[in-house]
Every structure is written in structure tokens, then in C-alpha cells.
Amino acid sequence: MAEIRTAYVLAATSAVALMHNPKVGLAWSRPSALTEFTVGGLAGHLGNQLVRVEQVLADDERPGQPISLLQHYVESPWVEAGLDHESNVSIRQGGESIAACGPAALAERLGDVLRRLTKALPAEPADRAVKLPWAGWALTLDDFLLTRLMEIVVHCDDLASSVGLATPEFQPEVIEPVVDLLARLAVHRHGATAVIRALSRTERAPSTISAF
């Protein structure tokens, strides 16, 4: 799925451009649109969607048999855990940690990471699998990139909304796989009928079909 690699680079490019916006730096220590995240912490969490890709690519350890994308989300504790669950606390702490260098330094660092990933990803084998040490299992590289693609699109909206900017307009090749993934996760969580009603029948739509 070389198109996922291209889509990931396109989305990551938009994320880095957003990080360079002066409004992000000016609001760095303020609360963000996400509960218990500062703007800086949210920017750091968004930046981690690039940093972690580079980290797993550099790991030469045999990753083991990759699991399915659905199983990845079913097994991930943060998906249905509360804000105070250790998994979500760790996510927020990770965002704050990477943001500790400040907005200018983080934007510069992520620009460097993006340039390296832009060169590295096309050269990776089509069947490359990567180990996720924080999770304890492996995914195919393309499945992992799809999870990061979704995170980038969602959190670019969060970050832009936090500082009064328009949400980046992503290309169709970025948006379509993200919408498909979120729809599949919503069906798994709420059932097909609920999702179909939400998309087609306002009079019978459930209160939410959120994937998370």
C-alpha cells in the first residue's frame, strides 16, 4: 500500500506546517481543546506521530507476527479508558515531554524528522512489519502508518481549533483512508445499524457513533 506512505507524508507535511504557525507558539502553555492537554502538550503528541514512526523504523529487532489493525485497537487500553487511566496519563506526559524544548525547537526537530521519513519510507519493503514496544505487539508498516495518519488528521483539527486557526485542508488521499478507518472502528464499537442510521436517518440517529 504505497499510497498510505504517500498519504502519511502529505499529512505529516501539513502537521509540521501547522507547528510553525506563530499562533501555536503564542498559546503554548494555555489549555487546548482537549481536556488536560496544554497546547504545547497537544503539539507534542501530534509531533510524536512522526517521532514514533522514525523510532520503529530504526528498530532492527525481529518484530514477530503482525496483528490485525482491528485487534490493535481492541487490545489498546487507551481506546475505552478514562482520562485518569495510566495509558492516557502516559500519552499526555509523552506529549508534554516532547514539547518541553519549546515551539520553535519542536517545529525544527519535526521538520528534520519529516525530511528523513520522506526519503526512508519509499525504500521500505512492501511487507515490512514493525514492533510497537509501547504496545507489545507488531503491525505491518502500512497499518502502523494508517494509525499515525488518523492521529495526525484528528489532532491537527484539535490543535488548529485550540489556537483559533482553520483546520488544514487535507488531500482526498489523506482523508479517505482516515474516514474508512474511523467508520470501521465505529461499526465495531456501535454496530452497523447505529452507524448507518447516523449517516442516513437523523430521526433515528444515535447520540454518538464516535470511534473512541
Task: Specify the CATH number for the domain of residue 23.
Answer: 1.20.120.450
What pLDDT, on a 0 to 100 scale, did the predictor assign at position 81? 63
184 in a structural domain: no
200 in a structural domain: no
111 in a structural domain: yes
- Domain count for the chain, please give it: 1
What pLDDT, on a 0 to 100 scale, did the predictor assign at position 92? 87
> What's the angle, vertex CA 151, arms to CA 146 and CA 154, rounded to 5?
125
174 in a structural domain: no
What does the alpha-carbon distance between residue 165 and residue 151 come to, in Å, rounded to a whole number?
A: 18
Instruction: For residue 135, give the 3-state DSSP assignment.
Output: coil
Per-residue pLDDT of the chain (212 residues; tens, 9 = 90+): 479 999 999 999 999 999 999 999 999 999 999 988 999 999 999 999 999 999 999 998 888 899 999 999 998 877 776 667 777 788 888 889 999 999 999 999 999 999 999 999 999 999 999 999 988 899 999 999 999 999 999 999 999 999 999 999 999 999 999 999 999 999 999 999 999 999 999 999 999 999 98
- R_g of the chain computed on alpha carbons: 17
pTM, to two decimals? 0.93
62 in a structural domain: yes
What pLDDT, on a 0 to 100 scale, did the predictor assign at position 76? 85
What does the alpha-carbon distance between residue 212 and residue 210 come to, in Å, rounded to a whole number?
A: 5
What does the alpha-carbon distance between residue 153 and residue 14 come to, in Å, rounded to a whole number?
A: 9
Residue 47 structural domain: 2-168
What pLDDT, on a 0 to 100 scale, did the predictor assign at position 205? 92
107 in a structural domain: yes
What does the alpha-carbon distance between residue 147 and residue 164 come to, in Å, rounded to a whole number?
A: 26
Instruction: For residue 70, give the 3-state DSSP assignment.
Output: helix
182 in a structural domain: no
Number of continuous H segments (helices) and E segments (strands) in the chain: 9, 2
- Phi first, then psi, for residue 139 (nearest 5°) are -130, 160
201 in a structural domain: no
What does the alpha-carbon distance between residue 6 and residue 2 come to, in Å, rounded to a whole number?
A: 7
Residues in Cβ contact with 1 at an 8 Å cutoff, skipping those fewer than 6 apart:
126, 142
